[in-house]
Amino acid sequence: MMKKVWLALGLLTSVIGSVSAATLTPQKGVSILFINGQQAENKISENHINEGFNQVLVRFDKKFGNSGVYSSAPYILSFNVTGDEVKIKSPKARSYIEAEKVFESGNPSWNVMQDEVAIKYQQDIIERKPGFVPFGGLDSRLVEYNESNAIYFKDGVLLDKPAEAVVLAPVTTGMVVEKEAKTQTKTAPTEAQSVEQLKAWYLKASKKERKEFRKWMIDQE
């Protein structure tokens, strides 16, 4: 039964597709690598994102004259979208040395702006691994991160996440919501939760999409 529910959820998300509620634009020095588990279409220009919870993998990349290009570790930024335009601004760094200090602190201050108002976000870092490619395999590392945090995407669409995954209230200045230690055990979505997700997607579907979905369900019997 659970397998059928997940198959149905996958079909509904592919049939309905994701509704682009906003544009996501990186500002100077910000590279967007992944959006909701999928590789970003544009690293340094406009992308489309969905309404609600979004997870973006970003990196600071900036050339400082003769000092060369400084590239940070990738950071996972999670935030809620309710507006039309989201911009991500990099932490302030006026030199290569300053950039090193900012990112070595482990808590760089990104600025996530929605319709010109700063919003809260949660950030996590992709840790460096030993070897020649310390940040290789980012797609699989994102999957591992999301599974360990009970966050599930399908084709860039959120299927499920813990209620406490991110604080969503807008604020007047850029603020980071640090990941709090959770005492609750993280578990995968239950069958009941998945059924509720399935119902929600069905209600979002058009008449044509519902007809296609019902036909698919009959074929599964």
Q: How many CA atoms lie within 13 A of 132 on its CB side?
A: 0
Q: Given this model, what pLDDT does residue 189 score?
A: 54
Residue 60: closest CA among 9, 125, 143: 125
Alpha-carbon 106 to chain mean position: 20
Q: Given this model, what pLDDT does residue 29 score?
A: 96
Q: Given this model, what pLDDT does residue 1 score?
A: 55
Q: Given this model, what pLDDT does residue 135 score?
A: 84
* Residue pair 88/24 in contact by the 8 Å Cβ criterion: yes
Q: Which residues contact 106 (CB under 8 A, 6 or more apart)?
A: 125
For 95, the token pair is 């030199």
* Residue pair 22/56 in contact by the 8 Å Cβ criterion: no
Single pTM value for the model? 0.69
For 191, the token pair is 């069958």
Tell me which DSSP letter residue 119 carries.
B
Q: Given this model, what pLDDT does residue 95 score?
A: 96
* Residue pair 152/160 in contact by the 8 Å Cβ criterion: yes
For 58, the token pair is 């970003």
For 201, the token pair is 């997607």
For each of the chain's 221 residues, which pLDDT tens digit applies? 555 555 555 555 554 444 557 999 999 999 999 999 999 999 999 999 988 999 999 999 999 999 999 999 999 999 999 999 999 999 999 999 999 999 998 789 999 999 999 999 999 998 888 877 778 889 899 999 999 999 999 888 888 888 766 554 344 334 444 443 333 344 445 666 666 666 666 666 666 777 777 777 777 66
Rounded to 5°, angle at Cα 154 from 148 and 156: 100
For 207, the token pair is 């008449």
